[in-house]
Structure 1
Amino acid sequence: MDNESGLQRRLTGRQLTMIGLGGAIGTGLFLGSSLAISQAGPATILAYIICAGVALVIGWSLAEMVVVHPEAGAFGVIAHRYLGPWAGFVVRWTYWTIQVIAIGGEVIAAGIYVQFWWPSLPLWLPVTVFSVVVLAVNTAAVKLFGEVEYWFAMVKVVAIIVFILLGVVLITVGLPGAEATGVSNLTAHDGFLPNGMNGLFLAMVFVLFSYIGTEAVSMTAAESENPTRDIPRAARRMVTRLSLFYVLAIAVVLTVVPWTVTAQGGSVTESPFVTVFSAAGIPAAATIMNFVVLTAALSSANTNLYLTTRMIHSLASNGYAPAWTGRLSRAGVPRNALALSALGLALAAIVSRANESQAYLALFGVSVFGALVVWLLIMVTHHAFRRTRAAQGLPPSPVRLWGAPVTSVLVMLFLAAVLISTLFIPALRPAWWAGVPFFVILSVAYVVASRRAKTTV
C-alpha cells in the first residue's frame, strides 16, 4: 500500500473528492465573496461562472498529467520533469509559500467568525487555539486525516445546499416573518453591472481565489489507493460540484440582500452569508451559518497544511529542501515538514495581534499573487507535457483536456490578465512589491541549491 516516496496509499476516492472541496471552499467564498461583490455588484454571478470554466480547465489539465505521473509533489514534480529543475523548484517552493500564507489567512478568518459571537475577544486568541487544532489533526496518520477532512468538508457542503434551498424559498414565497424578496435586488442600485465591465474584471481576482485549492486533488496522488481511477473522477466531481455550489450560493446572496449591503464597502468583518440570514430576520440561522463558515475556514486550513507538508516532502526528495524535512513518522506522516509548514500559523498569530483590521487582506494579497503564478506554470507544464510526449511517440494520457491547446492558451491569457489587474486594486498592489522580489530571491536560491541537489525526479 506504500509507494516509492514512503508515503502510504490510504486515501479513498470519496475522501479525495472531499479533500478537494475542503481545500477550495473556505474564506474565498464565505469572506472573499464580499470583496468581489464590492467590485462587480450582481454581475459577480457572471464572474463565478467564468472562473468556474477556468478552474475546470486547470483541474482537467492536472488530472491528465497526474494520471500518468501519480507521484509525491504532483504538478511540482511534473514541472521538474517537463520544464526543467528550475521550474520544479520554483513551482513547489512558491506553492508551499502561498499555501503557508493561505493557512494563516484561514485561521485569521476563523478568528473573525468567532468575534461574531464575542466581539471583544482579541483575535490572536482564537487564532492560536485553531492553529493547535489543525496541527494535531495533521500529525495523525493520513487515513485519519482523510476521514476527519471528509466530515469537515461534508458539514459545509450540506450547509451550502441547505442555504441554497432556504434562499430559493425566501426569494420565491418567503419565510415566517420575512416576505418573499423576489429578484429586484439583481437590477436595483445602479443595475446588474453597476461598475461596468471594469468592475466585473477587477472582481475576477477575488473570485478566482475562491477556486484556488482545486489543485488539492492532484496533490493526493501519492497517497491515493487507486490514483489512475480516483484522481480523474475526484477532479471532475469536485470542480463540477464546486462550481454549482458557488454560482447558486452567490446568486442567492445577491438576490436576497442588496449588493450594496452585502459588499459592506469591501469590509471582511462579517460573512455575506451571515448577512443574508440576519437580513431575513433569522438570528438563530445566522448563528448556525456562522458556525458553518467557521468550520469551512478550519477545514480549508487543515487541507492546506496537508498540501504544504507534502510539497516540502517532495522538495526534500530532490534535495531542494533540508533532508530532515523528508523523514516520515511511523504513521507515514512527514512531521518535520509539518513543523516547517506551521510557520503560516505562527505568522497568522503575529499578524492578527499586530494589525487586526488589515490582517486578512495583507495575507490575501501575497497569497493570490503567488497562486496565479503557480496556475500559469501549471498550464505551461501541461502544454510541455503534451508536446514532449507527442514528440517522443509516447501514448497520450487516458484523461484528455477538451479543446487543448486552445482552451489551455485561453486560460493562460486570462490568468495573466487577472494577475496584471491586481495592480489596479489598491489593497492587492503591495503583493507585487513582495511577489517580484520573492521570485528573484527564489531563482537565486535555486542556483545555490542546484549545486547540491539531485537532478533526477
Structure 2
Amino acid sequence: MGNKLTHLNKGNESGNGLKRELKTKQLTMIAMGCAIGTGLFLGSGLAISTAGPGVILSYAIGAFIVLLLMGCLSEMTVAHPTSGSFGTISEKYVSPLAGFLVRYSYWIANVLAVGVEVSAIAVYMKYWFPDVPGFVWILLFAGVLIYVNATSVNTFATFEYWFSMIKISAIVGFILLGSYVLFGNSAQPNMGPENIVNDGGFLPFGWWGMWVAIFISLFSFLGTEMIAVTAGEAQDPDVAVPKALKATVFRLSTFYIITIGIMLMIVPWKSAGVEQSPFVKVMELLNIPGASGIMNFIILTAALSAMNSQLYASTRMMFSLSQGKDAPSFLSKLNKKGVPLKALGVSTLGIFLAAAVNALLPGSSYAFMMGISMFGAIFTWFMVFVSHLFFRRKWEKSNGRKLPVRMIGYPYLTIAGAVLLLSLMITTWFTDFKIMIQFGIPWLLFLTAAYFFFKKGSNTHKVENDTNEILNKNIN
C-alpha cells in the first residue's frame, strides 16, 4: 500500500456513481462509432481535393500519430480508469491548470463536433429532400439522440454497437464491391490504379498539400480516444481498455487507407469535395440501381452514430468537470438510471450552434464547424503526449504497480507525437483552416483567465487534493 499509485476499484461502481457496465466489444464499437463519421464519409472528399492521390500518405501518417497516441493513452488509462480520463491525468501529473484546460477544451471539441455531424446530416438529407431547410433535420435528429443519451449507459452502448456494425459492414461491403469492379471480370478501362497518378501525378499539390491533408485526416480519427473516456464505466479496464484501443487503431487504419485507395481508383480525384459524399459519387458512377440511396442512408447512420458518441463524451467530460469542482455542482447529479442528465443538457449547445450556422451559412457550415471543433481535440491529443512524459517519470519514481501495458519507445516516440501535432497546429495558420487558431488561442486565454479568477489561493490546492483523492481512492 504505502505511497503506491493504483487504479480505481473494479467493482460495479466506478467510484463516482457511474456504473461499470461496458464490455470490451462495446468499448471498441463506441470508439469506432465516434471515429467513423463524417471525417471519412464526407471529410475524405475535402482531404482528397487538398492533397490529390497523395492523401493516402496523409492518412497513413495520421494513423501513425494516432498509434503513438493510443500507446500513451493505454498506459495512463489503465493506471487511472476514471470518467475524467486524460483531463484528470493532466491535472494530477502536469498541473491543475493543465487539467482544467484539457477538460474544457475536450468538452468544447465534442460539443462542436456534434455540430459538425449534424451539419453533415443536413447535407445528406438534401439527397432526398433538396427543398427542406437543413436546420429542420438538425433539430429532428438531435431530439432522437438526446433521448437515447438520456437513458442508461447500456441503452446508449447498444444503440452505438449496432450503429457501428452498420457502418463497418458498409465499409467492408464497399471494399469488396470496389475490388470486384476494379479487378474482376467487369473491370472498366477508365478505372484502375492508373487513376492514382493521372491528372497531375501522385502529389499534384506537392508535399505541402499532402502535409495539410494530414490535419484533415486526423479529423477522421477523432473519437478513438473515446475509450479512455468510457474507462470509468468499463468492466475490468486493465484488460478491456488496451485491447479495445489496439483493435480500434488497427481497424480504422486498415479501413481508411484501403477505402480511400479504392475510391481514388474508381472516381477521378478532381471531382472530390464536400457538396456530396465521395462514397455516393462512387455508387452513382457504377450505375448500381438504388445503391447511391442506400449508401447515403448508411453514411447518414454514420453521422448519427458519431453524434451519439460525441454527446456521450461531452456529457462525461462535463460530469468530470463538475466532480472536480471546475463546473457547477448540479451538473454532476445523476438520474435514477445513472445518467448525468443536466451535464447532457449543457452539452447539446453545439447542436443549436450548428442549426444557427447552417441557417446563416448553408454552403459552408460543415467546413466552418469542423475548423472550430478541431482545436480542442488536437490540443487534447497534444496534452496526452505531454502528460505521458510527466506520468511515466512520476509513476516510476513513486514505485507504482507494474502496468499490463507500456508505451514503447519512451520518451522518443512520445516526443515525436507531440512535435508532429504541434507542427500541424501551426500549419493551419497558413491554410483555409486558420479559423482553428483564431478560435483556439482566444479560447485558451479565456480559460486561463477564468481559472485564475475562480481558483485563488487555497482553493487551488483543495481542487488538487480532491483530484488526488479521486485518483487514489480504494487503494489496494
What TM-score comes out, normalization by structure 2 length?
A: 0.93
1:378-436 deviation digits (Å, cap 9, x = unpaired): 1000111101112223344221112121111111111111111111212x112222211
Counterpart residue number, 2:233: 223
- Deviation track 1:143-169 (CA, whole Å, cap 9, x = no partner) reads 111111000111000000000110111
Shift, 1:359, TM fit: 0.8
Asked if the contact 1:77–1:88 (Cα under 8 Å) also holds between the matched residues in 2, the reply is yes
> Which secondary structure state, in structure 2, belongs to the residue aligned with residue 228 of structure 1?
helix
Of 128, 138, 143 in structure 1, the residue corresponding to residue 149 of structure 2 is 138
Counterpart AA for 2:245: A
Counterpart of 2:32 in structure 1 is: 21
* Counterparts of 1:307 and 1:430, CA distance in 2: 24
Q: Which of 381, 390, 393 lines up with 2:399 in the alignment?
A: 393
- Provide the C-alpha distance between the structure 1 equivalents of 2:430 and 2:247, rounded to a whole number of angstroms: 35
Instruction: Tell me whether 1:65 sits opposite 2:71 in the alignment.
Output: no
CA contact (8 A) 1:16 1:217 kept: yes
Shift of 1:128: 0.7
3-state SS of 1:220 partner: helix
Deviates more, 1:68-77 or 1:398-407: 398-407
Give runs of aligned pairs for residues 5-404 of structure 1, distance below 5 A: 5-173=16-184, 175=186, 181-261=191-271, 263-264=272-273, 268-404=274-410
Output the CA distance in 2 between the equivalents of 1:274 and 1:361. Answer: 19
Structure 1 residue 174 displacement after superposition: 5.4
Q: CA deviation at 1:368?
A: 1.2
Q: Deviations along 1:6-63, whole A, 9 cap, x unmatched?
A: 0011111111000010111111111111111111111111111111111111112111
CA distance in 1, matches of 2:291, 2:157: 29
1:440 equivalenced with 2:445 (yes/no): yes
Question: 1:126, 1:184 → 2: CA distance?
Answer: 40
Question: Is 2:427 the counterpart of 1:421?
Answer: yes
Q: Displacement of 1:333 after TM fit?
A: 0.2
Q: Which amino acid aligns with 2:89?
A: I
C-alpha distance in 1 between matches for 2:65 and 2:348: 30
1:431 counterpart = 2:436: yes
Alignment partners' CA distance in 2, 1:126 and 1:370: 26
Instruction: Judge conservation of contact 1:174–1:181 (CA < 8 Å) in 2.
Output: no
- Aligned 8 A contact 1:73 1:311 in 2: yes
Give me the whole-angstrom Cα distance separating, in 1, the residues matched to 2:285 and 2:189.
11
Q: Which residue type is aligned with residue 305 of structure 2?
A: S
Separation in 1 of the partners of 2:57 and 2:228? 27
Structure 2: 5+ residue stretches without partners? 1-11, 468-476
> What are the superposed Cα offsets for residues 308-345 of structure 1, whole Å, 9 maximum, x if unpaired?
00001111111001001000001000000000001111
**Does structure 1 conserve the Cα–Cα contact (< 8 Å) formed by 2:175 and 2:262?**
yes
d(CA) in 2 for partners of 1:241, 1:312: 29
Secondary structure of 2:363's aligned partner:
helix
Task: Please list every run of 5 or more consecutive structure 1 residues that lacks an aligned counterpart in the other structure.
Answer: none
Distance 1:35 1:388 in 2: 42
Whichever residue aligns with residue 341 of structure 2, its letter is R
Q: Give the match's secondary structure for 1:455.
A: helix
Contact kept, 8 Å, 2:425 with 2:437, in 1: the verdict is: no
Amino acid across the alignment from 2:291? A
| Contact 2:91-2:464 within 8 A present in 1 as well | no
Give the number of aligned pairs.
Answer: 451
Q: Following the alignment from structure 1 to structure 2, what is the Cα–Cα distance between the partners of residues 174 and 86?
A: 61
